[in-house]
C-alpha cells in the first residue's frame, strides 16, 4: 500500500493543473495522506509529536501577535495549514521509506528517474518549439512562477543523479551520464540560475570535505561541472544568442534580482522595534510569498527565525564536511536553493525533493548497516 502511494505522488507531481483555491492534485493527495494517517495511527507518540509541533508554532505566533496587536487573517491560516501538511507529510513519507525493501527502493528510484526523464523531455521539446521561451511544469497556468520552481527542481535533480552515479552499475553509467547532461541542459532552458549557484555551493563543500581528508577526488567533480559549463558556447551553432539565455545572466538591474532585493528591504522597513525579534507571526500575515526564504523567515519569525534558518544551513554544511554523507550534502543544497525562493511551499517542488532525499538517506543507511 505504501509503495503504491509513493508511486502515485511521483506520477502526480509534474501535473501542475490548478483547481479551486490554488490547489493542485498533489496538494489534495497530501492533505488526504495527513488526515488518513492521523485517523489510523494508534501510536500515541506519533499523534503527540504532531500535536506538540503544531502547538509550538501556534504558541509562537499567538505570542508574536499579542505583542504586535495584529489579527488573524485568511492568508495566515492558509499558510499555516500548508506548512503543517508539508511538515507532517515529510515524517509520514520517511516512515514509509523505512519499511521498503532494497528491491522496492530500486523500483522507486527507477520510477522517479523515468518520470524525471519525461519532465526533462517536456522541457527540451517545449524549448525546441519556442526557443528562448521559459519552460514551466506541464499543464501549468502560471508559467513564470513555475519556470523558477521547475528550474530549481531540475538543478537539484541534476545533483541528485550525480550523487547516485556511483550506485549505478558500470555498464549503465555512460547512459546515466548522458541523462545527467540532459537534466543540466533542461535546467538551463527554464531560465533558472539555480544550476550555477547550487553547483558552486556543491563544489565548495565537496572541496572542503576532500581537503579535510587530503583527497583529490574533488578535482573530478570540478572538471565534470566545468566541462558542462564550457559546453554552453556550443549553443551558438544553433544560432542562439547567449545574451538572451536568462540562466547565465545575473545583474542587480534585472527585474528578478531587483524584486528580491526590494522585498527584503521593504520587509526590513516594515518591521518596527516590536516586530524585529519575533516577526508578525504566520497566523497574522497579509501576504504569502516574498521571493526568498530568508525574507519569509524574517517577516514571519523575526530575526530569531532568520538566524535559526541560517544556523540550520551552516550546521548541515558542517555535518557534510565532517561526515561526508551524500544525503546531508543534498539536504544542504536543497535548503540553500530556497535562500532566494519559497519553493518549499509548492508541493510539486517539495515532494520530489523529499523523495530524492529519502532515496539518498536510505541508500546510505543500508550501506552503513551492511558494513557494520
Could you write out the DSSP letters of every residue in 72-83?
--HHHHHHHHHH
Lowest-confidence segment of 209-218, 250-259, 308-317 by average pLDDT: 250-259
CB burial of 226-265 (b: ≥16 within 10 Å; e: otherwise) equals eebeeeeeeeeeeeeeeeebbbbeeeeeeebbeebeebbe
Alpha-carbon distance values, 35 to 22, 47, 92, 155, 351 (Å)? 19, 12, 11, 32, 17
Separation between Cα atoms, residue 39 and residue 52, nearest integer Å: 17
Per the model's pLDDT, the better-predicted residue between 141 and 120 turns out to be: 120
Res 5 pLDDT > 90: yes
C-alpha grid cell, residue 206: 565537496
| Of the ranges 227-241, 243-257, 286-300, 306-320, the best mean pLDDT one | 306-320
Average pLDDT over residues 3-13: 93
Cell of 61: 505566533
Q: What does the pLDDT average to over 77-104?
A: 88
Task: Report the percent of the chain where pLDDT is more than 70.
Answer: 68
Measure CA 130 to chain center: 27
User: How far is the C-alpha of 310 from the C-alpha of 200, rounded, in Å?
Assistant: 18
In the prediction, which pLDDT does 208 show?
81
Region of poorest pLDDT, from 12-16, 159-163, 192-196: 192-196
Tell me the mean pLDDT in the region 282-307.
77
pLDDT tens track for 104-123: 999 999 999 999 999 999 88
Inter-residue contact 121 to 189 (CB < 8 Å)? no
Structure confidence at residue 256 (pLDDT): 55
Q: How confident is the model at residue 274 (pLDDT cuts 50, 70, 90)?
A: low
Which residue matches cell numbers 543523479? 161
Mean pLDDT of 227-248: 51
What angle, rounded to 10 degrees, do the helices at 44-68 and 293-323 form?
140
pLDDT of residue 91: 86
% of the chain residues with pLDDT over 90: 26
Residue holding cell 513519507? 93
Least confident piece of the model among 16-20, 200-204, 266-270, 340-344: 266-270
Lookup result for grid cell 527502493: 105
Residue where the block lists cell 509548492: 346
- What average pLDDT does this structure show over 355-370? 89
Q: Which of 215, 210, 108 is nearest to 164 (CA)?
A: 108
How many of the other CB atoms lie within 10 Å of CB of 21?
A: 7
| Mean pLDDT value of segment 238-248 | 47
- Is residue 131 within 8 Å of 328, Cβ to Cβ? no
CB 158, CB 202: distance < 8 Å: no
pLDDT of residue 341 exceeding 60, the answer is yes
The pLDDT score that the predictor gives to residue 358 is 96
**3-state secondary structure (DSSP) of residue 18:** strand
**Per-residue pLDDT tens digits for 62-81:** 665 655 566 677 777 788 88
**Per-position b or e across 78-113, b if 16+ CB within 10 A of its CB:** ebbebbbbbbbbeebbeebbeebeeebbeebbebbb
What's the pLDDT score for residue 118? 93
- Confidence tier at 238 by pLDDT (50, 70, 90): very low
The answer for residues whose C-beta is within 8 angstroms of residue 169's C-beta and 6 or more apart is: none
> CA nearest 207: which of 217, 194, 198?
217
Whole-angstrom Cα distance, residue 9 to residue 5? 6
The per-residue pLDDT for 44 is: 44
**What pLDDT was estimated at residue 15?**
86
Average pLDDT, the chain: 78
Residue range 30-57, pLDDT digits in tens: 989 888 887 776 554 455 566 666 666 6
Statement: the pTM of the whole predicted model exceeds 0.95? no
Torsion angle of alpha carbons 152, 355, 137, 116, nearest 10°? 100
Amino acid at each position: 500500500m505504501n509503495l503504491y502511494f509513493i508511486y502515485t505522488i511521483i506520477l502526480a507531481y509534474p501535473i501542475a493543473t490548478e483547481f479551486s483555491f490554488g490547489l493542485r492534485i498533489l496538494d489534495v493527495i497530501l492533505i488526504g495522506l495527513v488526515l488518513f494517517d492521523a485517523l489510523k495511527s494508534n501510536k500515541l507518540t506519533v499523534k503527540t509529536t504532531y500535536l506538540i509541533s503544531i502547538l509550538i508554532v501556534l504558541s509562537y505566533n499567538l505570542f508574536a501577535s499579542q505583542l504586535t496587536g495584529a489579527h488573524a487573517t485568511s492568508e495566515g491560516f492558509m499558510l499555516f495549514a500548508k506548512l503543517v501538511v508539508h511538515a507532517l507529510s515529510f515524517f509520514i513519507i520517511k516512515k514509509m521509506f523505512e519499511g521498503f525493501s532494497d528491491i522496492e527502493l530500486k523500483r522507486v528510484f527507477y520510477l522517479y528517474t523515468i518520470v524525471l526523464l519525461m519532465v526533462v523531455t517536456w522541457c527540451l521539446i517545449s524549448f525546441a518549439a519556442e526557443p528562448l521561451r521559459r519552460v514551466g511544469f506541464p499543464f501549468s497556468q502560471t508559467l513564470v512562477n513555475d519556470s523558477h520552481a521547475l528550474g530549481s527542481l531540475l538543478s537539484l535533480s541534476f545533483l541528485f543523479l550525480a550523487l547516485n552515479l556511483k550506485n549505478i552499475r558500470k555498464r549503465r553509467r555512460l547512459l546515466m551520464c548522458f541523462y545527467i547532461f540532459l537534466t543540466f541542459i533542461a535546467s538551463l532552458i527554464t531560465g533558472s540560475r539555480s544550476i550555477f549557484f547550487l553547483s558552486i555551493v556543491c563544489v565548495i563543500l565537496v572541496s572542503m570535505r576532500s581537503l579535510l581528508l587530503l583527497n583529490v577526488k574533488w578535482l573530478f567533480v570540478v572538471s565534470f561541472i566545468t566541462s558542462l559549463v564550457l559546453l554552453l558556447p556550443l549553443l551558438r551553432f544553433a544560432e542562439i544568442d547567449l545574451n538572451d539565455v536568462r540562466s547565465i545572466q545575473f545583474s542587480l538591474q534585472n527585474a528578478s534580482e531587483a524584486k528580491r532585493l526590494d522585498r527584503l528591504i521593504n520587509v526590513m522597513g516594515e518591521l518596527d522595534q516590536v516586530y524585529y525579534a519575533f516577526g508578525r507571526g504566520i497566523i497574522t500575515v497579509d501576504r504569502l510569498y516574498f521571493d526568498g526564504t530568508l525574507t519569509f523567515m524574517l517577516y514571519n519569525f523575526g530575526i530569531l527565525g532568520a538566524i535559526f534558518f541560517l544556523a540550520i544551513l551552516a550546521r548541515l554544511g558542517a555535518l557534510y564536511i565532517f561526515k561526508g554523507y551524500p544525503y546531508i550534502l543534498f539536504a544542504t543544497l536543497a535548503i540553500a536553493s530556497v535562500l532566494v525562493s519559497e519553493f518549499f511551499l509548492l508541493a510539486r517542488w517539495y515532494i520530489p525533493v523529499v523523495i530524492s532525499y529519502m532515496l539518498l538517506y536510505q541508500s546510505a543507511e543500508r550501506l552503513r548497516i551492511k558494513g557494520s
